[in-house]
Structure 1
C-alpha cells in the first residue's frame, strides 16, 4: 500500500475504509474502489484534495489498496 501523494508506505489504518499517511499527513478514504484524499486541518476539519489527482491516481487497485 502506497500513498498516492508521496508514495510512502508509512500508512496507518484509522477505521475500516480510512487510512492516514504519516509521511505527508493526509487522510485516505476508500469508497467504491476510489480513494478520496483529504488534508487534516489544525482544527480537525478535512479539506478535499481530490481535485489535485486524476482518476487513475485515485484508483484503489493501482495504489495497492
Structure 2
C-alpha cells in the first residue's frame, strides 16, 4: 500500500487498520476497502482530508 497523498510507501501501522505516513505526516484509516485520510493537528485532533482526493484514489477494492 502507498500513501495517496505523497505516493510513498513509508507507512507505519499505528492500530487495527490504521496507518501513518512518515513522509507527509497524515493518518490513514482503512474501512471496507476505502481509505480515510486525516491530518493530525497540534492539539491531537484530526482534520479530514478526504475532500481533497477523488473517490478512485481512496478506494482500494
TM-score by length of 2: 0.95
CA offset at residue 59 of structure 1? 1.0
Number of equivalences:
61
User: Counterparts in 2 of 1:15-54, with a 5 A limit?
Assistant: 15-54=15-54
Structure 1 gap ranges (5+): none
Q: How far apart, CA to CA, are the structure 2 residues paired with 1:60 and 1:25?
A: 20
Structure 1 runs of 4+ off > 2 angstroms?
A: none
Structure 2 gap ranges (5+): none
CA offset at residue 32 of structure 1? 1.1
Higher relative contact order (CA 8 A, sep 6+): 1
Q: Secondary structure at the match of 1:36?
A: strand
- C-alpha RMSD of the superposition: 0.8
